[in-house]
Amino acid sequence: MKIEEKASISIMKIICVSIILVLISGIGVMAVSPSLNDVKIVLQNGYELSTITSKTKVSEILEEKNIVLTEDEKAIPELDEEIASGDTIKIVKKTEQEVQIAKISDEGTKTSLEDLLDNYTQITEKIVKEEVSIPFETITRESGSGTESSNRVIQEGQDGIKEMTYKVKYQKDVEIEKTLLSEEIIKEPVDKIVQINKITSRSASTIRTAAETAEQTGETITCKVTAYCPCSKCCGKSNGITASGTVATAGRTVAASSKYPLGTKLNIGGHIYVVEDRGGAVTGNKIDMFVNSHSEALAWGVRYLPVSVVE
């Protein structure tokens, strides 16, 4: 019995020693094994990927998971940064500025980041109001008869004032774009009125005003040319029917004073138009050109163009 007890004790000792050795080796393996991190990756499309990795650098973790960034993507945190367990890596889209900087950098352009950012200075917008002068018109009036022709100014002309409202874009305090928003007449111009005395002698019986002469001979005169559209604001109606009964057509129809009979063809700045309309404000050497929309009429503004009657 003693021999069996000794043998049993020896076996127990061997088993205990073996268990101790296994525990020691396990602890050693755990000591040399790298720690594992629980990391979440959120792709640009919103898809989330949870992963266990021994890597700590963002670029290495993405490479381990075969995730490749395109030219317009970036990682947050950045690729060369270290992260810990529980952190999140987000793949997001780069801004246009960052994409351009990256392209220039890839092309090897020698420039500094400050220079690059300087090219993308924020653009600012301002509403600017300007006052411009509206030149007065000269109107001639035929007076009573006499033995000598003479001209007499019975009313001096005065320029009007128009306020123009613009939207102006600036970059680094330099104007890069200017858009007309509206215009408003602050002060109407006062026409200059010239009285012409007509000679009653037989030799001078055919003398006419300068405007009438221009109509007869085709002589070119300078007229104030504005624009109107078929809206009620421009002409008090919106049916597009002219004083002559025709349908107003852009590129053809103009409104002029009664000195030009309806149907008269006018060469205005090199283009042929037809007098088909009238207007209460269309007097003297003023011509109103028909356009399709109110915005076109505002954009046209006031122009002074050569005008002659087409025979």
* pLDDT tier for residue 22 given thresholds of 50, 70 and 90: low
The HSE-up count of residue 192 (CA atoms within 13 Å, CB side) is 13
Average pLDDT score, the chain: 79
* pLDDT of amino acid 207: 37
Report yes or no: 230 and 242 within 8 Å, Cβ to Cβ. Answer: no
CATH class for the domain made up of 208-311: mainly beta
Range list of β-strands (E), 174-292 = 174-187, 192-199, 221-228, 253-255, 265-268, 271-277, 286-290
For residue 135, cis peptide bond before it (omega within 30 degrees of 0): no
For the segment 32-85, what is each residue's pLDDT rounded down to a tens digit?
456 788 899 999 888 888 888 888 899 998 998 888 888 889 999 999 999 988
Rounded to the nearest 5 degrees, what angle is found at the Cα of 95, between the Cα atoms of 89 and 96? 150
- Cα 54 to its chain centre, rounded Å, is 52
Take residue 70 and report the two structure tokens written for it: 């395109």
* pLDDT tier for residue 175 given thresholds of 50, 70 and 90: confident
Q: Is the pLDDT of residue 27 over 70?
A: no
Q: Is the pLDDT of residue 229 over 60?
A: yes
The residue that leads in pLDDT, 26 or 21, is 21
Q: Is the pLDDT of residue 209 over 50?
A: no
Number of other residues whose CB lies within 10 A of the CB of residue 37: 17
* pLDDT of amino acid 153: 83
% of the chain surpassing 70 pLDDT: 74
CATH class for the domain made up of 121-207: mainly beta
* pLDDT of amino acid 8: 64
Average pLDDT over residues 10-35: 65
Q: Is the pLDDT of residue 203 over 50?
A: no
Contacts 24+ apart (CB under 8 A), 260-264: 260/215, 260/309, 264/309
In the chain, where the domains are located: 37-118, 121-207, 208-311
Q: How far is 145 from 115, CA to CA, in rounded Å? A: 78
Sorted by sequence, the CB contacts under 8 Å of residue 226 that are 6+ apart come out as 286, 287, 288, 289, 297, 300, 301, 302, 303
% of the chain surpassing 90 pLDDT: 19
* pLDDT of amino acid 118: 61
Q: Is the pLDDT of residue 146 over 60?
A: no
Take residue 203 and report the two structure tokens written for it: 């030799």
Q: How far is 136 from 293, CA to CA, in rounded Å? A: 26
**Which one of 64-78, 92-106, 134-148, 228-242 scores highest in mean pLDDT?**
64-78
Q: Is the pLDDT of residue 165 over 90?
A: yes
For strands 37-42 and 88-93, give the pairing. parallel
Rounded to the nearest 5 degrees, what angle is found at the Cα of 215, between the Cα atoms of 209 and 217? 100
- Give the CATH architecture of domain 37-118: Roll (3.10)
Q: Is the pLDDT of residue 162 over 80?
A: yes
Q: Is the pLDDT of residue 230 over 50?
A: yes
